[in-house]
Amino acid sequence: MAAIPAPIDATQTPEWKALQAHYDRLQAEGISLKKWFAEDPDRVKKLSFDTSDLHFDLSKNLVTDETVKLLADLGRAMGVESRRDAMYAGVHINTTEDRAVLHTALRRPVSDEGKFIVDGQDTVKDVHEVLDRMYAFADKVRSGEWKGVTGKAIETVVSIGIGGSDLGPVMVYEALKSYPRAVDVRYISNIDPNDAAEKLKGLDPETTLVIVVSKTFTTLETLTNAREVKAWLLQTLREQGAIDGSAEQDAAAILHHFVAVSTNHEKVAEFGIDPENAFGFWSWVGGRYSVDAAVGLSIILAYGKEVFEGFLAGFHDLDEYFAQTPLEENVVALLGLINVWYVNFFKAKSHAVLPYDQYLHRFPAYLQQLTMESNGKSTRWDGTPVTTETGEIFWGEAGTNGQHAFYQLIHQGTQMIPADFIAFVNTPNPAKDGDQDIHELFLGNFLAQTKALAFGKTADEVRAEGTAEWMVPARVFTGNRPTTSIFGEALTPHALGELIALYEHITFVEGTVWGLDSYDQWGVELGKQLAKQITPAFHDDTALEAQDASTQALIAYYRAHRQ
The reply to whether 17 belongs to the active site is no
**Separation CA 157–CA 204 (nearest Å):** 11
Q: Which of 199, 215, 267, 377 binds ligand F6P (CB under 6 A)?
A: 215
- Which of these ranges, 36-44, 157-165, 446-454, 467-475, lies near ligand F6P under the rule CB under 6 A? 157-165
Q: How many residues does the chain have?
A: 563
How many CB atoms sit inside 10 A of residue 229's CB? 23
Phi and psi of 261, rounded to 5°? -125, 120
**Separation CA 521–CA 161 (nearest Å):** 17
Q: Is the dihedral of CA 359, 361, 363, 366 positive or negative?
A: negative
Catalytic residue among 115, 432, 528, 539: 528
Q: In the 3-class helix/strand/coil scheme, how is 367-396 assigned residue by residue?
A: HHHHHHHHHCCCECCCCCECCCCCCCEEEC
Q: Which of 288, 351, 362, 439 binds ligand F6P (CB under 6 A)?
A: 288
Catalytic residue among 404, 532, 545, 561: 404
296 binds ligand F6P (CB under 6 A): no
Residues 344-373 that bind ligand F6P (CB under 6 A): 373
Q: Which of 20, 121, 216, 350 binds ligand F6P (CB under 6 A)?
A: 216
Q: Which of 68, 74, 160, 162 binds ligand F6P (CB under 6 A)?
A: 162
By beta-carbon proximity to ligand F6P, the closer residue of 95 and 249 is: 95
Residue 342 · residue 418 · CB < 8 Å: yes
Considering the complex, what minimum distance in angstroms separates the CB of residue 373 from ligand F6P?
6
Residue 378 · residue 313 · CB < 8 Å: no
Q: Which of 214, 374, 427, 480 binds ligand F6P (CB under 6 A)?
A: 214
222 binds ligand F6P (CB under 6 A): yes
- Which of these ranges, 49-57, 161-169, 272-280, 379-387, lies near ligand F6P under the rule CB under 6 A? 161-169
Catalytic residue among 206, 309, 373, 498: 373
121 pairs with which residues across the strands? 118
Contacts of 406 (CB under 8 A, 6+ apart): 397
By beta-carbon proximity to ligand F6P, the closer residue of 214 and 484 is: 214
Considering the complex, what minimum distance in angstroms separates the CB of residue 374 from ligand F6P?
10
Considering the complex, what minimum distance in angstroms separates the CB of residue 528 from ligand F6P?
7
Considering the complex, what minimum distance in angstroms separates the CB of residue 354 from ligand F6P?
25
531 binds ligand F6P (CB under 6 A): no
The DSSP-derived string for 407-466 is HHHHHHSSS---EEEEEES--SS--EETTEEHHHHHHHHHHHHHHHHHH-B-HHHHHHTT
Considering the complex, what minimum distance in angstroms separates the CB of residue 286 from ligand F6P?
7
Considering the complex, what minimum distance in angstroms separates the CB of residue 332 from ligand F6P?
23
**Separation CA 357–CA 439 (nearest Å):** 10
163 binds ligand F6P (CB under 6 A): yes
317 to 81, 286, 439: CA distances (angstroms): 17, 20, 28
Q: Which of 61, 219, 368, 374 binds ligand F6P (CB under 6 A)?
A: 219
By beta-carbon proximity to ligand F6P, the closer residue of 219 and 518 is: 219
Considering the complex, what minimum distance in angstroms separates the CB of residue 60 from ligand F6P?
34
The reply to whether 528 belongs to the active site is yes
Q: Pairing mode, if any, of strands 121-122 and 117-118?
A: antiparallel
Residue 209 · residue 157 · CB < 8 Å: yes
- Count residues near ligand F6P (CB under 6 A): 14
Helix axis angle, 331-340 to 493-514, nearest 10°: 50
Residue 10 · residue 388 · CB < 8 Å: yes
Q: Comparing C-alpha atoms, which of 49, 50, 47 is closest to residue 59? A: 47
Q: Which of 92, 106, 521, 537 binds ligand F6P (CB under 6 A)?
A: 521
Considering the complex, what minimum distance in angstroms separates the CB of residue 502 from ligand F6P?
20
By beta-carbon proximity to ligand F6P, the closer residue of 161 and 479 is: 161
Which residue number has the CB closest to ligand F6P? 287
Three-class DSSP category at 122: strand
How many CB atoms sit inside 10 A of residue 378's CB? 12
Considering the complex, what minimum distance in angstroms separates the CB of residue 260 from ligand F6P?
11
Q: Which of 38, 524, 530, 556 binds ligand F6P (CB under 6 A)?
A: 524
Residue 234 · residue 243 · CB < 8 Å: yes
Active centre residues (catalytic):
373, 404, 528
Q: Which residues bind ligand F6P (CB under 6 A)?
A: 162-165, 214-216, 219, 222, 287-288, 373, 521, 524
